[in-house]
Chains A and B, each alone.
Chain A
Amino acid sequence: MTELHFDGWFQVRLATDPDPSDETRGISGMIHVFPGEPDLDRIIRLQPPALQRSYCPAVGVFVRKVITEGKPVSEHPLIGAKVNLANDPVFKGDNGIVAEDGYEPIVPFILEVEKDGFYLNRACTQTPEYLEFPFMALQAKEINGDPAGIRKATNIPDPVKHFAARAASLKADLKKTKDPFSAEVLKRRIAFLTSRSAAAFFDAFMRYEVELGGPSQVKDEKKVFGTTLDETQAWSVEIRFCGWDPDALTGFVQGKLRLP
């Protein structure tokens, strides 16, 4: 058994209730985009390209640790591999019709890991509970709070101060800005970042456990994995989404992929 532990910042640009789930600008909910920015699309992006507002974390989720038969392998070649959810998955809640806030299934669910000549891609198990309304097996198993764990993982010990620091950088930019539109956008970002809403969901997480028993693709030209991956058995992945940053439209991902 090998475990690939991964983490990093992801982006999801999604309208929130009571906006319709396909709202493109964000009117009534907490998330808004500014004129000139791309429309909201709900896609969960673990890798660039993603919209990067100033002073926001860079998106990218990578393998940080590899554990084989219970022991960490410090120099494993897959450390640093890119982890991605393929085929433009979305948090599919559809205003509560599929699932209520926080429990939205990730549809479709296809995990990818890539580094140099190594590539693996596997879809969730292809049974009705994964593929059909209401995608019960793809819904979050838990929504909860974990301030200590999330602040440690993100290296942000105080989210309120973190957002206030970003607001301070934006205030400095505002003093230099002459363009009225840019100034208005900065003012709005500053107002949000210094409001109670900015850090309101930072310490909350959604936890998913997904069986990957569907079609797979594995390429390991340099034999970096160390052994042949068993594609006849289902793999499993556990992912937590947390560290919500409604200004950057990002969050933090922590997860582990278990390979038999």
Chain B
Amino acid sequence: MIDTREELLNALAEAAELEHGLLVQYLFTAFSFKRRLDEGITPLQQLMMEDWERTILSVAHQEMYHLANVCNLLAAIGGAPRFDRPNFPQPLKKYYPFDFELTRFGDEALYRFIVFELPEGVEPPPLPHVPGNVKTFAFEKIAPDPLVYNHIGELYERIAEGFKNIPENVLFIGPEDQQDIDEWTLRLKMHKVHDRASALEAIKEIVEEGEGTKADRAGSHYDKFLRIRQAYLAEKAKDASFEPARNVATNPRTREHRDAGGEGTIITHQATLKLAELFNTTYTTMLSMLIQYYSYGGETQEQREILRDSSRRMMSAFIRPMAEVLTEMPVTDDLTDGVAGAGFELYGPMNYSGQLKSRWIILQERFRQHIADIEEILEFQNEFPVLQRIAKLRENYEGTLINLKNFF
């Protein structure tokens, strides 16, 4: 039972890690789709696959919003934003009651996604039809733990209990003006958390978007993944050769990580390795901007706005293009080993100074480094024309750096 501030802060930190980990897995799978008719798909299949990609990206988008709302819940009770998480893969029960892996689109990925979003009391879906290496994921009984849950909804139930158990007048100590209530897009409206009722409302929305309600699951993440799986299996039954994903390696990574468990695929192709490292460092830059945005180190409103806008733009202008290009780059020098993907690797803990000046200097240093790194990647564009898309990113890095410099 959660009945102290520390336990509630720990549970919310876990929720933030989970939301972050989920959205990255959804993104990885969404980026693995084939995108062209010359990749062995029919026009009708392409339409269907674009719908699936759109749906999975929309779920990932909502998970970003859930993560932001969890940061508000943390701030409301005196906590700091949480954007750290362990690297992939994470085997069942090491950190979470789920198997966290970066896998391409297919029945196994869809099965895991349905399990992530499974409503409490609902029977798990049939196991995927994948030979070997299929785990039962979240359904083993786990040993008692300070924070016990088997479903995401269950974790939020514990958190909600914590908000109910701890006296309201003791719990809400965070300054209200240090929460994110900006409209990141017209579709996402943030919740300001200032008391028990508003905290419970934010939690209810997160849970309902994930699993729906007992009376109505339609439109929930759970329902969306079920429908995609149903359509995928139906198409596979009609056309056994249907393979919607590129041959993307599982858990691709640029190096071994002490905090990762399980098997990964080390990227050894030189050009791909450089691009994957640029992807990972850019992803970290985006997270550092979010940390700076949420942790209020004395930034002015204008500085906060450029941090918010720049991090939002980075998702479309850097993260997705690079992740897509990686699925067209060889993972090793042997082209039959398949292609790479975005590993969303974190090379170290994200510890940033509370000093405003240091934060801005580090941020700008990182962009200058990204611009330098991109030059090395572009040396390979004659061999890999898909890298021409990366040339466009240089402009985006330079533009973002100019935008940041205008505010510090």
Give the interface of A toward B (CB within 8 A). 17-22, 24-25, 27-28, 32, 34-36, 94-98, 133-134, 180-181, 184-185, 188
Contacts and interface: CB of A to CB of B under 8 A. Distances in A.
A153 to B, nearest CB: 28
B44 A184 contact: yes
A32 B54 CA distance: 11
Residue of B54, B309, B317 ringed by the most chain A CB atoms within 10 A: B317
Given A28-B57, A97-B313, A180 B50 contact: no
A96 B53 contact: no
Given A22-B392, A35-B43, A134 B57 contact: no
8 contacts: A20-B316, A21-B316, A25-B50, A28-B57, A28-B61, A95-B316, A96-B313, A184-B47
A97 B400 contact: yes
B321 A96 contact: no
Q: Which 6 residue pairs across A and B have the least CB separation, nearest first?
A: A35-B43, A95-B317, A97-B399, A95-B316, A35-B46, A181-B43
Contacts of A36: 37, 43
A106 B203 CA distance: 44
- Chain B contact residues: helix, strand, loop or mixed: helix
Nearest to A18: B316
Contacts of A18: 61, 185, 315-316
B54 A21 contact: no
Contacts of A32: 50
B395 A35 contact: no
B44 A181 contact: yes
A27 B312 contact: no
Given A18-B316, A25-B35, A96-B309, 8 more contacts: A17-B316, A34-B47, A36-B37, A95-B313, A97-B317, A97-B396, A180-B44, A181-B47
B333 to A, nearest CB: 28
Contacts of B37: 35-36
Contacts of A95: 313, 316-317, 396
- Chain A contact residues: helix, strand, loop or mixed: loop
Contacts of A184: 44, 47
Interface in B219-245: none
Contacts of B317: 20-21, 94-97
B364 to A, nearest CB: 15
Given A22-B321, A22-B389, A35-B47, A98 B399 contact: yes
B35 A94 contact: no
Contacts of A25: 35, 50
Contacts of A19: 316, 320
Contact of B50 (A20, A27, A181): A27
Residue of B44, B316, B317, B392 ringed by the most chain A CB atoms within 10 A: B316
A18 B254 CA distance: 28
B40 to A, nearest CB: 13
B402 interface: yes
A170 B317 CA distance: 36
Contacts of A180: 44
A36 B398 CA distance: 35
Given A27-B57, A180-B44, A94 B312 contact: no
A133 B402 contact: yes
B396 A94 contact: yes
A20 B316 CA distance: 5
B275 to A, nearest CB: 16
Interface string B346-385: 0000000000000000000000000000000000000000
A95 B399 CA distance: 11
B313 A27 contact: no
B58 interface: yes
Contacts of A133: 395, 398-399, 402
A80 to B, nearest CB: 38
Contacts of A134: 399, 402
Interface in B34-55: 35, 37, 42-44, 46-47, 50, 53-54
Contacts of B185: 17-18
A97 B317 CA distance: 8
Nearest to A28: B57
Interface in B164-207: 185
Nearest to B402: A133
Contacts of A17: 185, 316
Contacts of B321: 20, 22
B4 interface: no
B53 to A, nearest CB: 5
B136 interface: no
B403 interface: yes
A35 B320 CA distance: 21
A126 to B, nearest CB: 20
A185 B47 CA distance: 9
A188 B176 CA distance: 45
Nearest to A180: B44
Nearest to A17: B316
Nearest to A96: B313
Nearest to B392: A22
Nearest to A133: B399
B403 A97 contact: yes
Nearest to B389: A22
Contacts of B42: 181
A94 B399 contact: yes
Residue of A27, A32, A98 ringed by the most chain B CB atoms within 10 A: A27
